[in-house]
Amino acid sequence: MDIFIKKNSQLPIYEQIVEQVKYQISEGILEPGSSVPSIRALAKTLRISVITVQRAYDELVKEGFIETIPGKGSFISENCLVFFEEEMTKKLEYHLQSVIKIARQLDISIHHVHDLLDYFNQGGDSDEGD
Amino acid sequence: MRGLVMKDFYNVVNNGLGLFVMMLILSVAIVPTQGFLGYLVAGTVVCSMMSTTSFAIDNNSKWEQFAITFPIDRKDIVKGKFITLFLFTMIGILLSIILGSLAALIFQSDILQTIGVKEIGQMIIVGISVALIFGTNSIALLLKFGAEKARMFLILGYVIPGAILIYVVDKLQELGVIFTGEKLNQFIYLLPILVIIWLSIGYTLAVAIMKKKQY
Amino acid sequence: MKAIEIKNLSKKLDAFHIDRINFTVPKGNIVGLIGENGAGKTTTIKLMMDVIERDSGEVRFFGKPLNKDLKEEISVVYDEINFYEKVDVVKINTILKHIFKAWDTTRYFGLINRFKLPKNKAIGNFSKGMKMKLNIIIGLAHSPKLLILDEPTSGLDPSARMEMLDLFLEFIQNEEHSILLSSHITNDLERIADYIVMMHHGKIILQLNKDELLYRYGIIRCSEKQFQRIPKNVIFAYQISNSIYEVVINNAPGMKEAYPELTIDRITIDDMMSIYIRGEK
C-alpha cells in the first residue's frame, strides 16, 4: 500500500491516509480481501506517529473499509466497494442538497437547475468527452 | 559489578604508560637512596592511587548519573571502587617488586643478597596496608566532595596521615621508645587487623555518602 | 497499562523548582517531553530514575516503583556519552555485558555495523552524530521495554536525525515497548510522538494527544478589535508584536465555524511553546 503524506497540506495526516485508502479502493488498486500493513508498520514506513495511523484505521474500520481480524491483521473488507458507493451516493446527495440550497437563495427555479444538469450531462462539461 | 571494575580498569589502564613511567622514575629515585624496601612501599602506594584517578575520569564523563540507571545498587558502585583500589594495590606490589628488583640489581647489585625474604614480606604487608588505608581515605573524600573539590583534600588525605605518622614515630623515638626489630615485627603483624577495621569503617561511611549523592 | 506514571513529583533545587509534575507514558507509545533548555526536562528524568532524590511524589514503571529488576527493562540515554573518551566500542561491550543480564552482544554489534561505527577507535574521536548513535545503540542492546531519551537528536544533522527517528519507530514496532523522549527540537516530535507533554519553569503546562494538539489547537493572527471578540476561554496564550495579535486557541474547528471571518492557521508545537513562553496567558 503506497501512501504519500503531504506535510503542508491543510488536510490532517490521518485524513490524508483515509482519503488515499478510499481512493485506492475505488480505483481497484486495493482489492477486497487484500491485507494492509499493521498500524505500527505503516507508522514506521511513513515516519509518523502510531496514534495518527491508529486514528486513520479506526475511521476506516468504522466506515467499513477495513476489517481487523485479531491475530491475523487488517484487511480491505469484502464489501468495501459497496461502502464506497454508499459514501459516494451520500456525497452526491450532499452536493445536490447544496445545489438546491444555493438555487433557493438565488431564486433560481428548480427547472432551471434541471436544465443545467442536462446541459452538463450532455457534454457541457468538456472533460466528459468521448 | 564486575562490569564496573572492568570499566575502571580500562579507563585507568589507558593512562598505564604514564603510570609505568612514573614507577620507573620512582625506582631510579628511591632504590639507590632509600633502598629496595622503601621503594616497595612507595611504589605500591603510588600505583594504588590510580584508583582515585578513576574518580576524575568518572566525573569528566558524568559516569555516575548513567551508572545509577543500571540494574545495580548505589552501594555496588562503592563496592566496585574498593575492588578497583584492591586491584591496583596488587598491581602496585607486583610492579614494585619487578621494577624494584631490576633497579636494585643495577644500582646496588649486592642488595638482594643482604635482605631476607622475611623483610620483603613485611614490607609487602606495610605497602599493601598503607595503600589500602590511604585509598580508603581518598574514596570517602572523593565521594564526599567530588573529584573537583576533593583534589585538595586528597593531598591532605595522604600528607596529613603521613606527617602524623612520621611525627609520632619521631616523638616516640625522642622519648626513648626504640623501635627494635621485635616491636616493629609485632606492629607489622597487627597492621592487617588495623586495615580491616579501617576498610570496614571507610566502606560503611562511603556507602552512606553515596546513598545521599545527587548527580 | 502504563509504562511510566508520575504523580505529584516535586523537587526544590537551587536554580529552580520541579513543581508537582503529573504525566503518564502509555505502553506502546512515544511521548515527547518538550520544553526550552532549563525547563526541567533532564532533572525530571533524573528524578524518575532516582539519580536525584525527590522531595515528594510518586513514580511508577509498569505499575511498580523503581527497583533493580525493573532497571533491566529501562534504558536511559543522556544527551552525551557517559564513557571515558579513550575507550572503544569493543570495550564498552565487554563492560556492559557484565552489568546487564540481558545484554545482547550480537544485537549490539549488529547495530554497530548497521550504523558503520568503527570498533577499535577511541570514542573521543567520534563525531557528535556517531556518539549519539552509539549512545542509543547502547540503550537498545539489552532489549529494554522502555527507552528514556534526553535530547537524542540535538546537534545531529538532518539525515542522522532521520536515522534516529527510524530507530525509534522500529523499537516501537513491539506493542510492549514505549519511549519517553525529551527535546527542544519540536520538529522531530511533531512527526513521531503520540503524546506531547509541555514543560516550562519546572511545571507541566499541557499534555495532549499529538493529533489533538495539532488539529484542535490553532493560531489566529488578527487586530486588537478582532481579538476582543475572541471568547477568553478558548485562548491558550497570545502575544502582540507590531500591534498584530497572535492568539493560540484551543478549539480551532469550533472557532472556524463560529467566526468564519477570522483566519485560523494550523499550529506547530514550536509556535505554541514560544507564544506561551513569551506571551500572555
SS3 of B169-191: HHHHHHCCCCCCHHHHHHHHHHH
Whether residue B57 lies within 8 A of chain C, CB to CB, comes out as yes
| Host H or E run for residue C210 | helix C210-216
Report the sign of the C-alpha dihedral through residues B163, B166, B169, B174, in that order: negative
Query: pLDDT for B76-86, tens place per residue?
Result: 999 999 999 99
Residues of A in contact with C29 (CB under 8 A): 50-51
As a whole number of angstroms, the distance between CA A112 and CA C190 comes to 50
pLDDT (average), residues A10-38? 89
| B-C C-beta contacts closer than 8 Å | 77
As a whole number of angstroms, the distance between CA B12 and CA B16 comes to 6
Whether residue B2 lies within 8 A of chain C, CB to CB, comes out as yes
Q: Can you state the percent helix, strand and coil of chain C, rounding each to 5?
A: 35, 30, 35
Which chains are within 8 Å of C by 3+ CB pairs? A, B
Are chains B and C touching, using the cut-off of 8 Å on CB pairs and a minimum of 3 such pairs?
yes
pLDDT (average), residues A31-47? 91
Residue identified by cell 513491539 is C174
Q: How far is C192 from chain A (nearest CA, A)?
A: 4
Nearest CA in chain B to C70: B71
Out of C169, C195, C211, closest to residue A43 by CB: C169
**Interface confidence: ipTM more than 0.85:** yes
Out of C173, C193, C195, closest to residue A44 by CB: C173
Confidence check: pLDDT of B50 > 50: yes
Question: C29 vs A51: CB contact, 8 Å cut-off?
Answer: yes
Residue among C78, C101, C10, C147 at smallest CA distance from B61: C78
Q: What is the full per-residue pLDDT of chain C (281 aa) written as tens digits?
A: 899 999 999 999 887 899 999 999 999 999 999 998 889 999 999 999 999 999 999 999 999 999 999 999 999 999 999 999 999 999 999 999 999 999 999 999 999 999 999 999 999 999 988 999 999 999 999 999 999 999 988 778 888 888 889 999 999 999 999 999 998 878 888 889 999 999 999 999 999 999 888 889 999 999 988 898 899 899 999 999 888 999 999 999 889 888 888 888 888 888 888 898 888 77
Question: A49 vs C210: CB contact, 8 Å cut-off?
Answer: yes
Nearest CA in chain C to B66: C82
Q: List the single best residue of C161, C162, C173, C212 to mutate versus A (max A Cβ within 10 A).
A: C173
Residues of A in contact with C169 (CB under 8 A): 43-44, 47
Give the count of beta carbons closer than 10 Å to the beta carbon of residue C247: 25
Task: For helices C89-97 and B2-13, give the axis angle rounded to 10 degrees.
Answer: 150
Bridge partners (DSSP) of residue C179 are: C30, C147
Question: C209 vs A51: CB contact, 8 Å cut-off?
Answer: yes
As a whole number of angstroms, the distance between CA C226 and CA C219 comes to 13
Out of A14, A44, A51, closest to residue C194 by CB: A51
Residues of C in contact with B57 (CB under 8 A): 84
Of the ranges B43-52, B172-181, B194-203, the best mean pLDDT one: B194-203
Bridge partners (DSSP) of residue C266 are: C218
What secondary structure does DSSP assign to A52-66, as a single string? HHHHHHHHHHHTTSE
Residues of C in contact with B69 (CB under 8 A): 49, 51, 71, 74-76
Whether residue A100 lies within 8 A of chain C, CB to CB, comes out as no
Q: List the single best residue of A49, A55, A59 to mutate versus C (max C Cβ within 10 A).
A: A49
Q: How far is B135 from chain C (nearest CA, A)?
A: 22
pLDDT (average), residues A101-110? 89
Task: For helices B2-13 and B16-34, give the axis angle rounded to 10 degrees.
Answer: 70
Q: Among B154-168, B173-187, C9-23, whose mean pLDDT is lowest?
A: B173-187
The pLDDT score that the predictor gives to residue B29 is: 85
Domain boundaries, chain B: 1-214
Residues of A in contact with C211 (CB under 8 A): 12-14, 49, 51-52, 55
Report the sign of the C-alpha dihedral through residues C230, C231, C234, C238, in that order: positive
> What average pLDDT does the structure give for chain B?
85
Q: In a 3-state reduction of DSSP, which class is residue C30?
A: strand
Question: B215 vs C52: CB contact, 8 Å cut-off?
Answer: yes
Question: A49 vs C162: CB contact, 8 Å cut-off?
Answer: no
CB neighbour class for C154 (10 Å; exposed up to 12, middle 13-18, buried from 19): middle
The pLDDT score that the predictor gives to residue C257 is: 87
Contact C189, C269 (CB under 8 A): yes
Question: C214 vs A41: CB contact, 8 Å cut-off?
Answer: no
Backbone angles phi, psi at A64, to 5 degrees: 90, 5
Confidence check: pLDDT of B68 > 50: yes
Residue among C77, C268, C70 at smallest CA distance from C181: C77
Out of C29, C172, C211, closest to residue A12 by CB: C211
Nearest CA in chain C to A10: C266
Out of B14, B63, B214, closest to residue C53 by CB: B214
Q: In a 3-state reduction of DSSP, which class is residue A7?
A: coil
Are chains A and C touching, using the cut-off of 8 Å on CB pairs and a minimum of 3 such pairs?
yes
Per residue in C166-201, is it b (16+ CB within 10 Å) or e — as a string? Answer: ebbbebbeeeebbbbbbbbbbebbbbbbbbbbbbbe
Contact C59, C76 (CB under 8 A): no
Per residue in C128-142, is it b (16+ CB within 10 Å) or e — as a string? Answer: ebbbbbbbbbbbbbb
The pLDDT score that the predictor gives to residue A80 is: 72
Whether residue A55 lies within 8 A of chain C, CB to CB, comes out as yes
Q: List the single best residue of C27, C169, C265 to mutate versus A (max A Cβ within 10 A).
A: C169
Bridge partners (DSSP) of residue C18 are: C11
- Give me the amino acid identity at C271: D
Whether residue C76 lies within 8 A of chain B, CB to CB, comes out as yes
As a whole number of angstroms, the distance between CA C229 and CA C272 comes to 21
Residue B133 C-beta-side C-alpha neighbours within 13 Å? 21
| A-C C-beta contacts closer than 8 Å | 47
Q: How far is A37 from chain C (nearest CA, A)?
A: 12
- DSSP 8-state assignment for residue A121: I
Confidence check: pLDDT of A126 > 60: no
Instruction: Give the end-to-end CA distance of chain A in Å, rounded to a whole number.
Output: 32
Question: C30 vs A50: CB contact, 8 Å cut-off?
Answer: yes
Pairing type for strands C146-150 and C74-77 reads parallel
As a whole number of angstroms, the distance between CA C275 and CA C181 comes to 22
**A128 pLDDT tier (thresholds 50, 70, 90):** very low
Nearest CA in chain C to A43: C169
As a whole number of angstroms, the distance between CA A38 and CA C9 comes to 36
